[in-house]
Structure 1
Amino acid sequence: MPTFTSKNVSIHYNFNDAAGPDAPVLMFSNSLGTTLDMWRPQLEALSSDFRILRYDTRGHGQSSAPQGPYSLDQLGEDVIALLDHLQLPKVHLCGLSLGGFVTQWLAINAPERLHSAVICNIAAVTAAPTFWHDRANLVLSEGMQAIVDGVMARFFSPRFAQGSPAAVRAVHEGFVSTPAVGYAGACAAIQHADFRANLPTVDLPVLVIGGSLDQAAPPEGVKQVAELIPHARYVELDAAHISNIENPAGFNGAIVDFLGGLKA
């Protein structure tokens, strides 16, 4: 898969344009501790109607992992740089967890680059800043293995973990392969996120997706994102935090319904 370099950071991406040059571009931004591979259930389901753009957030996957801390400004500007590199004026952007914060940042700071936004499994504000500070220090001192079991327990419901062990194992392997410095850098970006004051200014079509079983981003906090954005739509799925993997049929269906409605 290709990479490009912006401000000394190499960003790894995959652009599936099998749907043809006139198809709309649907871009995905990944969760903390995952890679662009987390979007495989969407690639398979949506690539006939959309050109699918996936990328590894800086510090993750095959993108470079510079010394942190990172900021949401940097993560959002990485997206803009990738769009410029590919000469894409506008995209539909879908982000989950950390990617949901990045999507909120772009909807507020660069709405001219988005046709619409899909914000998944993330609130408008970080509830426990000290948690992310401590988490970053822990992985830097003890490695990703120190937290992986607890993270997987929040990523997926027990029901899904028992019924789909291969899917959980793939995410587990990607998580422990994440550079500790990259994970810690992204924790810093999350630590002080608070978009509550700015979300009411968003003037884009927005879909917000929550998970009824999500312990990492409880649905009441996710629903607040939709309540703050004028005319946003909220959908709650039977899933935990990584809802696009745990409930791909519901997730993909919600996106298709939302984007299909924009064409009408």
Structure 2
Amino acid sequence: MFRRIVSSTPSKLYYPRRNHFMRQFRMASTLTLPDSRTLAYALDATPKDGPLVILSNPLCASFSLWDHVVKILNENGFRTLRYDQPGHGGSSAPKNLDATFDSMADDVHQLLESLEIKKVDSWIGVSMGASTGIYFTTKFPNTVSKLAICDTIASSPINAGAEDLFVQRVAAAREAGNLDTTIQGTMERWFGKEWLEKNPEEAQRVQALMSKTTVDGFETCCNALSSKTFDLRPLLGKVGDSVDDAVVIVGQNDANLPEVMAEMRTKIDEGFRAAGKDKLISLFVIRDAGHVCFIDGLKQFTDTILAWLTADQRRREIEALKSKQS
């Protein structure tokens, strides 16, 4: 059912050592939104003319969670734009803690307009960042060319007829007055205790970034995830009308999401066919990785993403070479 990637690195792609120091030039700033909230973001200054990739975060994490991925994308000619969800990192939460995925898609649209960016090469979203990507691309079609959907549920618990654990976690955080226990439990669900014990430095980095989330921000995004308005299923068939290409990626150990996302891939693929687009939408399973597979499956994740991002370019190069030889 699933396509699994063999770890192989295309010869033209460059992978820096994890401990290799590379100087990064970025414009980190904030945008004041129409409702007076602050949206924190980081836009790479280089490579200046590189294709722009939006990286959208999971719950309870700031945009710096993507740092290792950004280095690899930059070294392969891609420029990135990252932003913090409401109440996460440097972004403020709405007064009524009432965000929805539709409103968060509007936030990104406001950001792109403020930066005078009319076209984005790719959107790579993980967890709620993937859900936001689907809402954004179907609401603002043809703004994003390629959409990578990683490790996301298909709808809110109430729409799925399931127990709402988000409400329970918010109540526990409110009672504690902080997110310490919530963050510890989240990391164990994401990565597993064994991985955390074997990777203490990375675990400490992730924990520090997650600690920048406010309780208000956590509740705001949990409200979006719990909302009756959150349902990707009616939107999946519309993705093909909205972007030129898409890919589905999931961590092997991410509970039942490999099965859930296999169903999502089928619906997205059907939408592309209905739109008359000759694209086979693939599902890639990142071996031994969990919910945030670009952390505990970094190498295979970036192999997969780079191969997908550069596929059209490599195809054109091959066609040009064949044309010269004929």
Tell me what 1:10 maps to.
38
Match of 1:227 in 2: 266
CA separation of 1:129 and 1:75: change in aligned 2, threshold 3 A: farther
Give CA deviations for 1:27-63 in whole Å, capped at 9, x if unaligned: 1011100000110111110113111111111210011
Cα shift at 1:225: 1.9
Q: Could you tell which deviates more after superposition, 80-89 or 121-130?
A: 121-130
The structure-2 alpha-carbon separation of the partners of 1:129 and 1:45, relative to structure 1 and needing over 3 Å to count, comes to: same
What residue number does 2:295 align with?
245
How many residue pairs match? The answer is 262
Residue aligning to 1:87 = 116
Structure 2: distance between partners of 1:46 and 1:40: 10
The alpha-carbon deviation at position 179 of structure 1 amounts to: 0.4
CA contact (8 A) 1:210 1:223 kept: no
For 2:196 and 2:141, how far apart are their aligned partners in 1?
37
Aligned-pair identity in percent equals 25
* Number of the residue aligned with 2:47: 19
Query: Using a 3 Å threshold, how does the CA distance of structure 1 residues 5 and 251 change in structure 2: closer, same or farther?
Result: same
TM-score normalised by structure 1 residue count: 0.94
What secondary structure, in the 3-state scheme, does the structure 2 residue paired with 1:2 have? strand
Cα displacement (A) at 1:251: 0.9
| Counterpart check, 1:189 vs 2:189 | no
- Superposed CA deviations along residues 163-185 of structure 1, whole A, max 9, x for unmatched, are 21111111112223310001100
Instruction: Report the aligned-residue RMSD.
Output: 1.6
- Correspondences of 1:1-264 after superposition (within 5 Å): 1-7=28-34, 8-21=36-49, 23-48=50-75, 49-67=77-95, 68-91=97-120, 92-127=122-157, 128=162, 130-142=164-176, 143-192=178-227, 193-203=230-240, 204=243, 205-215=245-255, 218-230=257-269, 231-238=280-287, 239-263=289-313, 264=315
Shift of 1:129: 5.8
Greater Rg, structure 1 or structure 2?
2
- The secondary structure found in structure 1 opposite 2:39 is strand
Between 132-141 and 196-205, report the one with greater CA deviation: 132-141
Given that 1:123 and 1:225 are in contact with CA atoms closer than 8 Å, whether structure 2 keeps it comes out as no
157-166 or 43-52: bigger deviation:
157-166
Structure 1: stretches of 5+ with no match in the other structure: none
Report the secondary structure of 1:59's partner residue: coil
Q: Distance in 2 between matches of 1:95 and 1:154?
A: 19
CA distance in 2, matches of 1:261, 1:108: 23
User: In the alignment, residue 212 of structure 1 is paired with which amino acid?
Assistant: Q
Farther-moved stretch of structure 1 (132-141 vs 33-42): 132-141
Q: Does the CA contact (< 8 Å) of 2:88 and 2:213 recur in 1?
A: yes
TM-score if structure 2 supplies the norm length? Answer: 0.77
Question: Aligned to 1:209, what secondary structure does the other structure show?
Answer: strand
Please tell me whether the aligned partners of residues 250 and 258 of structure 2 are also in contact (alpha carbons under 8 angstroms): yes
Letter in 1 for 2:285: E
Aligned residue for 2:233, secondary structure, equals coil
